[in-house]
Chains A and B, each alone.
Chain A
Amino acid sequence: MIALLSRDLALAIRAGGGFGLSLAFFLIFTTMVPFGVGPETGVLAVIAPGILWLGALLACLLSLDRIFQLDWEDGTLDLIATSPVPLEGLAAIKALAHWITTGLPLVLAAPVLGVLLNLPASGHGWLMASLALGTPALSAIGTFGAALTVGIKRGGLLLSLLVLPLYMPTLIFAALCVTRGAAGQEALTPLLLVGGITLGCLAVLPFAAAAALRVNLR
């Protein structure tokens, strides 16, 4: 399992691995928002929580189709399926590797982008907390979607259609948490709900992903 994780991380930082792509997308997406809606700080402060979370969702989505597709194309997935590593473990490790290469950089970069969108100072802590608690759910749901669509040529679009609706609960409560935090209101309840969604996803989805992989490998 550790061999799998370190291989996935090594592949991500090698040429063509896509490490940093999601982060760069997040940066560009967020910096483009003021160009689109105008530079009035009042407007930006209101929409900042939603925009930052939408940016994070889309950035996560970008790299999902690589999770299993590359291993499937070169035959590695078949070989891992016959190895002592259970597919549930494989799915969990893949989600973890995706989170480390995609979610974690977003968490760390978010405060800088919050400043760019004039997010009130009181919202920054909640933004980081909601991203730290919410992005693992995005990776877990995305891994499940990737397992469902593995083996479909250019399944990336289908994957987005499958996964985006499942991201909705996380988006609703996480953006609400940041909005309330920025307005100085009590924001712990939505944050706890985000955490609950994440824990539920982490507990269930590796098994669902493994089942989907088994069907697709037949």
Chain B
Amino acid sequence: MTLRVVDLACARGPAQILAGVTFAVAPGQALILRGPNGAGKTTLLRTLAGLTPPLAGRIEADPDAIAYAAHADGLKAQLSVRENLVFWAGVFGTRDITAAVAAFHLGPLLDRRAGEMSAGQKRRLSLARLLVTGRPIWCLDEPTVSLDAENVARFASAVTAHLGRGGAAIIATHIDLGLPTAQTLDITPFVAKRIRADDPFAEAVA
């Protein structure tokens, strides 16, 4: 299914960050979000993921089609790699973690506790979670942080394989992922920072 965003305005807390964002991502397509730090990439992705309600505009997609991956890895240090993945598979109602393990080369680490892994290894585990969600549209917030070149390539091939299966991806990143077919969207023109007029808390803190 195509993710279509029409005239979207996004807010983070009391401030409106973006306005008039319009784009569409069809199955098999990837969209790279670009913009300087603080432009609103994370805010846009959180709005797409359904964590923050949009101020205006529409997101035409099934919310249950979107898998979100944030800056934070969302891993439990006390659980092993296998337990972390099995947990997420259970939450999303899928059972099979073998494809996720293979895509990010986690086989040798399966019984290692997440707390004992390096930042890059945690990142790989966190990205492997996307595959166990079984959802078609990935919204990724700087997915390659702490990955080395080899694993960036591994990630790029996982995204390519996902696109090949009819999935879609929206990726906020500052580096070149080597996805030849990806479109790029610079969000700088949509930046519209102002304090929300309808902020429900403005009265309380004024």
Contact = CB atoms under 8 A, between A and B. Distances in A.
Contacts of B90: 2-4, 6-7
B66 A82 contact: yes
A217 B46 CA distance: 10
A7 B77 CA distance: 12
Interface stretch (B68-76, B173-181, B186-194): B68-76
A74 B76 contact: yes
Contacts of B78: 10-11, 14-17
A197 interface: no
Given A11-B79, A15-B78, A17-B78, A217 B51 contact: yes
A75 B68 contact: no
B67 interface: yes
Interface string B87-105: 1111111000000000000
B64 interface: yes
Nearest to A7: B87
A52 B64 CA distance: 47
Interface in B50-90: 50-53, 64, 66-79, 83, 86-90
Contacts of B125: none
Contacts of B89: 3
B3 interface: no
- For chain A, the bracket of interface size reads 20 to 34
Given A4-B91, A78-B70, A11 B76 contact: yes
A15 B116 CA distance: 14
Contact of A82 (B12, B51, B86): B51
A216 B51 CA distance: 10
Contact of B91 (A3, A10, A11, A74): A3
Contacts of A217: 51-52
A3 to B, nearest CB: 3
A16 B133 CA distance: 28
B71 A75 contact: yes
Interface in B127-157: 129, 133
A84 interface: yes
A84 B91 contact: yes
Contact of A7 (B52, B66, B79): B79
Given A4-B91, A7-B83, A218-B12, 14 more contacts: A4-B87, A11-B79, A15-B78, A16-B78, A74-B73, A74-B76, A75-B72, A76-B76, A78-B72, A78-B74, A83-B91, A83-B92, A84-B93, A85-B91
23 contacts: A3-B89, A3-B91, A7-B76, A7-B83, A7-B90, A10-B83, A11-B78, A11-B79, A15-B78, A16-B78, A74-B73, A74-B74, A75-B71, A75-B73, A78-B49, A79-B70, A79-B74, A82-B49, A82-B50, A83-B92, A217-B52, A218-B12, A218-B51
Interface of B: 12-13, 46, 49-53, 64, 66-79, 83, 86-93, 129, 133
